[in-house]
Amino acid sequence: MLTSFDFGDGPVPAHRHKNGGGWVADTAHVVASAYVGSGARVLGDARVLGDARVSGNARVFGNARVFEKAQVFEKARVYGNAWVLGEARVYGNAWVLGDARLSGDARVFGNARVFERAQVFEKARVYGKALVFGGALVSGDARVSGNARLFEHAWVFGDAWVSGDAQVFEQSEGESP
């Protein structure tokens, strides 16, 4: 018997994941060892692998990958070609999208957004309403929070904190601030 579920754009072939009971589109792939909670959804060509967990009202879709021991929970979204791996966490109303990468013990939470080719790794944290995008990198024990914007090819690393309404970006030679 063919089962379907409406993920928001009309019913598509889908099934409940045996480990957690969440809905998984038949086009997506979730391994048996991964967990998809009853309110969570995995759709499109997304992959959830290893011991990864998707729970709460979280969504993983597009060509996104969540693997190893990574977790996506509460109302978080991971989509596009984004990867979340290692022991990284995305939660709250945070989004990781585009070609972004989140790895190590990194955290993205609150209403933060990490997108385009941005990377957050090691023990870095991005939270509040912060935006990290372009080719920006956040690593080490660095923090980006509040309404901060980190973009282009800027790097924040070590014990650095960027917060409030700060903007950090790479300026090309010859450009004035």
DSSP one-letter code for 136: -
Task: Tell me the C-alpha distance between 113 and 126, whole Å.
Answer: 8
- pLDDT value for 176: 44
Q: Is the pLDDT of residue 175 over 60?
A: no
Only one residue has tokens 């480990």, namely 19
pTM: predicted TM-score of the whole model, two decimal places: 0.94
For the purposes of burial, counting CB atoms within 10 Å of the CB of 28, is it exposed (0-12), middle (13-18) or buried (19 or more)?
buried
* Confidence bin at 171 (pLDDT 50/70/90): low
Closest residue by Cα to residue 82 from 32, 134, 119? 119
Q: pLDDT tens digits for 113-128?
A: 999 999 999 999 999 9
Q: So what's the pLDDT on residue 170?
A: 81
Averaged pLDDT, 45-73: 98
Q: Catalogue all structural domains in the chain, each as residue range(s) with its CATH number.
A: 14-74 (no CATH), 99-172 (2.160.10)
Cβ atoms within 10 Å of 98's Cβ, excluding its own: 19
Asked if 15 and 26 count as a contact pair (C-beta separation under 8 A), the reply is yes
Structure token pair of residue 71: 């977790």
Q: Is the pLDDT of residue 83 over 50?
A: yes
